[in-house]
Structure 1
């Protein structure tokens, strides 16, 4: 296929702004009577399933409108379904939350996994409209190189010889992430200044052009995706909702520089830390973040003071935090020393914990971070923990049932602990083999075991009781002594 012409994202957004100002909507309204006839013929369409009362849907609406107008220039249509008015239609498409976005190709849906800002939607859908690998010639070479933040081009003498098959497989796997092109045009190859075969990544940040430094003919999909993934992350960039997943999926620790964006020295702070970020590139990803907008995130990373700049490293995989002391004077040298120590394994994570409760009067044990190892890893006890957040509606609905569960096993609480832990106020210690990604999360640790069992059943009292009865190692009849109680008695007799 020939490469279709590109307009820059900025140009498309400008056109979208004009249309929005004129009051026209380019988002198609779908309902049961027109859904099949409008969606099925389209080679590519993005459909939003929304509810008018949904706050996230309201935030998406102007971005979606802008993207619809911009993508109209590329003949890519955007549509929406009101799930309050068309509940059956939404249910038929498996919609369980709002907004849900799906990409349709000739009526066949796949999940939309892209950003929810206009420029991100445009970029994502543009990639979807292209073949996984675009034919690049001298005529479109310069334009294609600048078509997205990260563009990957294979220059080759043939479309069949190595590494073309591996390159195509990489492109198919990552078409949602980057633009891929292949050129056998001698004029384009000459303009690129490379000898075939060669693979070049073009970026709109840092070094604008980087050539694959290893033998190209033997490159595998794994080799290429690892190399591209590394280049796709800037030395330092602002992080937000739109690009956080890029960092989360990188597998590397994330170093945050929290800044007040309104201060005159903001760029000076970023430029000063850039050499440090460059030094640790490949080991730690560096970002700067709006400390005013994301103040709650700063506190979650154990930066309690509203004092900026501030710096913290987060092990994303283990959710461990290593904040630089806010009582000390901030400097790039202090940051460099801190990261050096982290990379060398010399830092201990700072674990947040609520105070240990003076009493435990409730039917459910109130667990805090400082007591986690002591309580949960007590081999003599079966422990069932609810990890919750105070703001979580599902957690609030579960509370009376969870309290009833604690009351149910109150007579054997010396051997079966029903506990709860506010997971946003208490960090899990490194000894724990899991991290919390949603609320509520229910984990059961049988007595004498280090293994945690996930509870995935319904949240009725009957089901929770049955789960404990199935997995508990200790006897649940208060009149039956536990093996641990007998063991403790024998030890006492011997003293």
Structure 2
């Protein structure tokens, strides 16, 4: 009888083990996000790693267990509440969220820090170790400690640097500074001196300064509250992220991922003065458009293809144009002569927002002060700046387009048909 019970116990144990081995592992750490909990999840964690997926996508299905296992692995090492969360969004059922973050392919992995998405999507290897390592690296403190003021004079002058001088590391002021440093780690280098070594720079209390590239002690001092994250991050962002950036073939795809139309100055590399003038006018006329437009410059000798789409060539430089990611529009004035004329640049942007630039292609120039209606028949298109017309050449009939030139730079963005996950990455 005892042997029979023992055999039954063994059999029961064997069946239990067999049953458990057939049950797939349960992952509880990946949060399903939707319009109801989006803000609370993003706002409740320093980092949120989000998998934008579609159930019908085979590559999304392949990534799913990898992403879940990476979540578990990170949670084993980072147990601090509110530090890290892995989340997923079904883009079919939450298409408004997908549109908000410009998701055009599946799966797309984006990292959110302090509720804000990083400009770059994750493009590394899709393995458990790679995903976990990426998140762990993002948690690491990026603030560089300095034991002497002299060492601060040796910081890389090719970089944009933010320097903090604090009495203590255990203070709200320093914690705010560290949070800002992590938020802007891709844009600036952050340094700090703490305690007695910082006293010579703390005559008025804790201080944060910005050091421009190629300077030593020509620092700009932050004058706002050091315990206000919103104010400090805005100030640092304005210093660390240039209002006008250079677009190259290396960073074009990254810039398109930001999802903002381009206002782009194609310049002759022998003419650097036009870049300075453009920077000045953007800051003067368009600063309020920073969140809606990407202000860029491009070497016109390298980006000849977009110029060709506009009917322009190197001899026409400088050329100022908008790429809306649907169509391209040329500034309807002479860049060299009219760039500084009050209101012309801001009106150009306003006409993009209102749809006027597109309407003029179909109906001719609208009668306004900025865009006077042409009096010469057949020149309505030229007045909008969209068709080149060299008056030194003989008059010839040009076939009028029925729509503006197609966007050029969207072709440098990730293809809508290209998946972010490759078979050999797993």
Q: TM-score, normalised by structure 1?
A: 0.40
**Structure having greater relative contact order (Cα 8 Å, sep ≥ 6):** 2
